[in-house]
Structure 1
Amino acid sequence: MQVSQSEMKTIKRALTHWQQINTVTPEQSQAMEQSIQLTSFDWFKLAKYCFWIALACIIIAVTSALLDDALIAWFEEFFNSAASTKAMTLAGIASICFGFAWHRKKRYPGKFYSNEGYFFLGVLFSALSLLYLGVWFDPEVAHWSLLLLSASLVYGALGLAFPSHLVWLFAILSLVGWFGAETGYLSGWGQYYLGMNYPLRMAFFGLAIIALSQALHRWPARRSFSQLTLILGYGLLFMSLWVLSIFGNYGDLLSWSEVSQWHLLHWSALFAAVAITVLIYGIKTDHSISRGFALSFLLLNLYTRFFEYFWDTSNKALFFAILAFSFWLLGSKAESIWQLTKQRQNSSVQAQK
């Protein structure tokens, strides 16, 4: 088995720990370590960077092609054609990209980045096709909300069918765009929808995406999509709560500027309560994503409140000293919990013997 240098260090630490608690004998540990080979070069990372560079070069190539006289004439002819022709042509190209990517994924499942690159091209051309499809049906004003919903449904179905995490990512992003457009510009409510401004209703939509991730987690065949969906849901929820803690449920800057930030303190308290709840959940379930989001946005909340309320009047050294002391206490408490958990695990192992 070939592993990278960082993976080798992790394996050695694990083997040392297992020897200390008598899970494996020194002979077994040595035999397992000898069966592992250190790779001289991380080809997987090289592949990832190469394909990112390749995608960038494709964009540069397209840009350069637009400067070629012969190609400019062809593009002018294409873009001067009917919207229906452009929509169908781009849809055909997208279908070829998706079909080729699916074929490669079945034949070469280990070539992750190259397969995802072809899926990305399919996403790009299908998005352009949907754009011209909207212009075809409504030349004056394209129904952006309906287009985004259509894109989300198409990407969602393709992402789950292939499967492709990249296509699924664009499905969720399109769904968020559809929700924003539908509840904003097309509903007639303006900045408010059911009494909620953009950040507040996006916070609820973030909760809906988190619920979707839990549903995917219960689907064994597509459980791998759960983590990506959860990250997107957490990101939308916490970013919306952060904006709410600054602007509250106000729909325009004029109304917001007329109130003191102290009147918005309850939104900051809600932001902190949600972060602490997710943090406790992450600690109890040993869920690193939940812990990471909660801690990051809890710190962001504290720093934002400091700049809002205390920056002009407080002593900077005293504030940061209090902040350091509070996090020192929090870290000490977390360390004690970790040590207690480790002692319980060791006791459990000894009891099994």
Structure 2
Amino acid sequence: MSPLSRNRLVRAELDEWLREGAVTPQQHTHLAERYVLKNWDWHSLGRWFSIFGGISVAAGLYQLLHDVMHFTLVHLAVALTVALALLFAGGDTLKKRGYRWPPRVLELLGGIDLIGLSFVLGIIFSTGSGNWPALLLIDLVLLLVLSYALNNILLMVLSTVVFFTWFGGCTGYDAGWEAYWFGMNYPLRFLGAAVAIVGAGVLHFRAEQRWLAVWSGFAKVWIACGIFFAEMALWLLSIFGNFGAMDGPWHEAGGMELLLFNALWLLGNLALLATGVRLRFAMLRGYAVTFIVIQVYTLYFTQIQPALGFLLGNTLAGGSALVLVVWLESRRRRSRSDDIAPQ
């Protein structure tokens, strides 16, 4: 393990101890000063290249087979089944040889293959119901089981993507593809799902200190998924509101409705920022700052820029963005120089 990787690992453990209350903020700061973070993390770059490379190779092989061979749906289902077995077998072989990320990438490709296989089988045995979200529910259950059985965080991330698609499709199918489901438009129903997911993530995080320790890190995926869904939902609600009554047409949301959702969004991000600062949780701070900036610019372009005109409005927006980038970069450089400075 390189010194940089060791320091990152120690810093992550120290942050975890702070969130658990095992050390005080003063003790955390004192210990963290001994493990300096600097230079480029080449190991992280390698992980991303392995993921990108694996997906690219799989896409290239599929396109090659598609161009040179004639596939019926039955042939395609057989080919996907064989590929599924080979991918998971290959991942298991590499794992036994001591590799860490290549097996996870192969298992991720196996998860994507599983989704494709389920839809091909769904088309072959279709009853004409059009209930494709049911296939995604099966995929979601299988991917969650595989994520925990194989201890693969990439499969866990894929599960969140499948959940997003399944939940939107399931509620849409149940509502006859109308705009509302129990009086909620899509953003509002995803906001409710996000709250439940974040709650599950918090419980998972606490359990990781005890009987879920082997799956340490999975809680961050749950929490990140829930926060992202909530942020995107509140962004749309802050612009459009809940659109209108369940049995009525869309309407231009009133000022009080938009004010309510904007206030809820801002307060949520301020709470997220405060929690991230208190627990030294960079992910929470990053989400909060990013979406506070997005909210400010959304309000500017929807409420102020039209009155200023195209030229002046966009000049002010571009100038403020440039100032923000320069300020953030100066803070980043100052933080890095503090880390590199001899103790």
TM-score, normalised via structure 1 length:
0.70
In structure 2, the residue corresponding to 1:196 is in which secondary structure? coil
The superposition leaves residues 27-73 of structure 1 with CA deviations (integer Å, 9 ceiling, x where unpaired) of xx9xx99xxxx9999466346425523431332233233332xx23x
Q: Does 1:135 align with 2:123?
A: yes
Give the letter aligned to residue 242 of structure 1.
Answer: W
Within 5 A, what are the aligned runs for 1:226-241? 226-241=219-234
The 8 Å contact of residues 198 and 223 in structure 2, kept in 1 or not, is answered as: yes
> What's the counterpart of residue 55 of structure 2?
55
- Taking the aligned partners of 1:183 and 1:145, their CA distance within structure 2 comes to 9
The superposition leaves residues 72-98 of structure 1 with CA deviations (integer Å, 9 ceiling, x where unpaired) of 3xx2xxx154xxx75465345323422
Give the letter aligned to residue 278 of structure 1.
Answer: L
Within 5 A, what are the aligned runs for 1:10-29? none
Q: Does 1:215 align with 2:203?
A: yes
Q: Compared with structure 1, are the counterparts of its residues 113 and 251 closer, same or farther at alpha carbon in structure 2 (3 Å cutoff)?
A: farther
Q: Does 1:172 align with 2:160?
A: yes
Match for residue 190 of structure 1 among 174, 178, 184: 178
- Taking the aligned partners of 2:270 and 2:218, their CA distance within structure 1 comes to 25
TM-superposed CA distance for 1:319, in Å, is 7.7
Q: Does 1:147 align with 2:147?
A: no
Give the letter aligned to residue 92 of structure 2.
Answer: W
- Report 1 or 2 for greater relative contact order, CA contacts < 8 Å, sequence distance ≥ 6: 2
Q: Compared with structure 1, are the counterparts of its residues 294 and 41 closer, same or farther at alpha carbon in structure 2 (3 Å cutoff)?
A: closer
> What's the counterpart of residue 103 of structure 2?
115
In structure 2, the residue corresponding to 1:277 is in which secondary structure? helix
Q: Does 1:67 align with 2:67?
A: yes
In structure 2, the residue corresponding to 1:61 is in which secondary structure? helix
In structure 1, the residue corresponding to 2:243 is in which secondary structure? coil
Match for residue 95 of structure 1 among 85, 90, 103: 85
The 8 Å contact of residues 154 and 171 in structure 1, kept in 2 or not, is answered as: no
- Taking the aligned partners of 2:285 and 2:44, their CA distance within structure 1 comes to 28
Match for residue 262 of structure 2 among 223, 248, 268: 268
The 8 Å contact of residues 202 and 240 in structure 1, kept in 2 or not, is answered as: yes
The 8 Å contact of residues 216 and 223 in structure 1, kept in 2 or not, is answered as: no
Which is further off, 209-218 or 146-155?
Answer: 209-218
The 8 Å contact of residues 135 and 141 in structure 1, kept in 2 or not, is answered as: no
> What's the counterpart of residue 279 of structure 2?
285
- Taking the aligned partners of 1:144 and 1:301, their CA distance within structure 2 comes to 35
Give the letter aligned to residue 45 of structure 1.
Answer: L
The superposition leaves residues 213-256 of structure 1 with CA deviations (integer Å, 9 ceiling, x where unpaired) of 1222112221211112211111111011001101100169x955
- Taking the aligned partners of 2:6 and 2:194, their CA distance within structure 1 comes to 35
The superposition leaves residues 166-210 of structure 1 with CA deviations (integer Å, 9 ceiling, x where unpaired) of 111122221222211111123337211111100001011111221
- Taking the aligned partners of 2:57 and 2:103, their CA distance within structure 1 comes to 17
- Structure 2 residues without counterparts, runs of 5 or longer: 12-28, 329-343
- The structure with the larger Rg is 1
Give the letter aligned to residue 52 of structure 1.
Answer: F
> What's the counterpart of residue 15 of structure 2?
none
The 8 Å contact of residues 50 and 105 in structure 2, kept in 1 or not, is answered as: no
* Poorly superposed stretches of 4+, deviation over 6 Å: 5-8, 38-41, 317-320
- Taking the aligned partners of 1:41 and 1:285, their CA distance within structure 2 comes to 24
The 8 Å contact of residues 200 and 240 in structure 1, kept in 2 or not, is answered as: yes
> What's the counterpart of residue 337 of structure 1?
none
- Taking the aligned partners of 1:39 and 1:318, their CA distance within structure 2 comes to 36
- Taking the aligned partners of 1:285 and 1:310, their CA distance within structure 2 comes to 36
The 8 Å contact of residues 94 and 122 in structure 1, kept in 2 or not, is answered as: yes
In structure 2, the residue corresponding to 1:310 is in which secondary structure? helix
TM-superposed CA distance for 1:156, in Å, is 0.1
Q: Compared with structure 1, are the counterparts of its residues 305 and 129 closer, same or farther at alpha carbon in structure 2 (3 Å cutoff)?
A: same
- Taking the aligned partners of 1:305 and 1:40, their CA distance within structure 2 comes to 37
Give the letter aligned to residue 149 of structure 1.
Answer: L
The 8 Å contact of residues 140 and 163 in structure 2, kept in 1 or not, is answered as: yes
Within 5 A, what are the aligned runs for 1:235-250? 235-250=228-243
Q: Compared with structure 1, are the counterparts of its residues 40 and 270 closer, same or farther at alpha carbon in structure 2 (3 Å cutoff)?
A: closer
Between the two proteins, the alignment pairs up a number of residues equal to: 295
Percent identity over the alignment?
Answer: 22
- Alpha-carbon RMSD: 4.2
- Taking the aligned partners of 2:164 and 2:171, their CA distance within structure 1 comes to 11
- Structure 1 residues without counterparts, runs of 5 or longer: 12-20, 24-28, 332-353
- Taking the aligned partners of 2:30 and 2:147, their CA distance within structure 1 comes to 45
